[in-house]
Amino acid sequence: MVWQLINILRKLFQYFCRKLIFSNSRNRAHQLRKKVVQVKGYKTLNKRILKEIKKYARERFGTKAYWPYLALYTEIRGKFIEGWIPQDYYSIVLLPALNPKPAVYMNNLKTYDYRLFEDFALVPLILVVSGIFFDASLKPLGREQLKKLLTDYNDIMVIKEEGGRGGMQIRILHSLDFNPEELKKNTNYVIQPYVKQYKVLNDLYPESVNTFRITTYLKKDGSVKILFVILRFGTNGLRVDNLSSGGHYLYFSLDGKPENAAYEQYTGVEIGKRHVNTGYIFSVIEIPMFKLMLEKCKDAHKKFPYTRLVGWDVCIDSTGKPILLEWNTEDVGFYPFEAKFGPFFPENDVLC
C-alpha cells in the first residue's frame, strides 16, 4: 500500500514538473518571437498562418498547444514549413524517447571518451577520477610523477570538469602553472592538451578552438544520418566557442559549403558576413577534410547505439586531423537550427 502511494505521488510530481516545463517553454517561445520581430522590424505571422500552424500541430503532435515554437520558427524563417518539430515537443517528448536513461548520461564521463572512441577522441594528459590522478593508460600518478609529466609537457592545457556544460567549467592554463590542490574535491576531471587548430579556423578566430557541431541520427534500419553541421567560433576575446557563452555559429551544407553569413544563437538573426574581430569572410572557408570528419562521426555513433541522437564537437588540428573533443546526448542542440535550416526530421521514423 505504501509503495502504491509512493508511485502515485511520483507520477503526480512528474506530471506537474512536465506541465511547468511546458509552460515555461511556451513563455520562452513568446518572448523570443517578440525579440525576432523587433529585430526584423516586421511580423510574418498572421491569422491565416497561425490557423495553419495550429492545424499542423494538432494533426502531427496531438494538440495545438505546440504552436508557440512553430510561430517563432515562422518569424525566424519568414514562412511556415510543414515538417518542423517544435522545441518543446523535441525536448519534452522526442529527445527522452530517442535518448533514454541511463545511456543518456554516458556522455558525462569525459574521462572515458578516448577509450570508447579510440583514435577519434583526444588522448588526455591526465585523468582525475575518484580523487586519484592517472595518466592516459590509467596508471596512477604519484606526486613526483605528476610533477614530471607537467614539466615535460611544458605547454598550454585544458582542464575540464566531468559533466560540465557550455564551457563554464573549463580552465585553460600552462602546465607549469597547474596546482592540483585547486581542483574541487569529489569531482572528476579530464586534462587535455590545448589543440593547435587548422590554419583556416585559427585565422577565423585564434583565441578559441573553433569546433564543428555535427548532429547524427541513428535510424531504425541501423544506418546513421547526418542531420546538420554548424561551425561554432568565439568572439570578442572569448577563449571558448560555446554559443551559450557568447559564441556565434556558421551553418554548413553536407557537402562542406558554408553559408554566406553567421547567426546569433537564440533568434537566428544574421550577424554579418565577416567575423566581427578578424574580418575573416565566412563564405571562403574551405575544409578539405570535411567529408572525413562526417564519416568519423557516423562511425563513432555506431560504437554507441544506445542513444539515437548525438551531437559531436569536433575540432581540426594543425595537421588537418579531425579530433573529437566532446559528445552530447543530454543536450543535443536543436533550436534555432531546426527553424533556420530544417526540418531535419521529415520522416515518420522519428515519431514512431
Least confident of 9-13, 150-154, 191-195, 264-268: 9-13
294 DSSP β-pair partners = none
Sheet containing 212-218, strands listed edge to edge, beginning at the edge strand earlier in sequence? 270-272, 262-263, 248-252, 224-233, 212-218, 309-316, 322-328
- Highest averaged pLDDT of the listed ranges 10-14, 169-173, 278-282: 278-282
162: exposed, middle or buried (C-beta count within 10 Å: 0-12, 13-18, 19+)?
middle
All structural domains of the chain: 2-84 (no CATH), 103-114+198-351 (3.30.470.20), 123-193 (no CATH)
d(CA 304, CA 342): 25
Least confident of 53-57, 241-245, 275-279, 313-317: 241-245
pLDDT band at 14 (very low <50, low <70, confident <90, very high): low
Residue with cell 579530464: 190
Task: Say whether pLDDT at 301 is over 90.
Answer: yes
Per-chain mean pLDDT for the chain = 89
Sheet containing 170-174, strands listed edge to edge, beginning at the edge strand earlier in sequence? 132-134, 126-129, 189-193, 156-161, 170-174
- The residue with greater pLDDT, 8 or 191, is 191
Once rounded to an integer, what is the mean pLDDT over residues 69-76? Answer: 97
Question: Which pLDDT score is estimated for 69?
Answer: 97
Residue with cell 569536433: 314
Q: Residues 217-252: pLDDT tens digits?
A: 999 999 999 999 999 999 988 887 777 777 889 999
Predicted TM-score (pTM) of this structure:
0.87
Question: Which pLDDT score is estimated for 166?
Answer: 52
Q: Residues 18-66: pLDDT tens digits?
A: 656 667 778 999 999 999 999 889 999 999 999 999 999 999 999 999 9
Question: Which pLDDT score is estimated for 19?
Answer: 58
Least confident of 13-17, 35-39, 281-285: 13-17
d(CA 76, CA 267): 7
pLDDT band at 283 (very low <50, low <70, confident <90, very high): very high
pLDDT band at 318 (very low <50, low <70, confident <90, very high): very high
Q: Residues 111-146: pLDDT tens digits?
A: 889 889 989 998 999 999 999 999 999 999 999 999
CA max distance for the chain: 72
d(CA 209, CA 170): 13
Question: Which pLDDT score is estimated for 12?
Answer: 56
Once rounded to an integer, what is the mean pLDDT over residues 207-211? Answer: 92
pLDDT band at 352 (very low <50, low <70, confident <90, very high): very low
Closest of 235, 201, 237 to residue 320, by C-alpha: 201
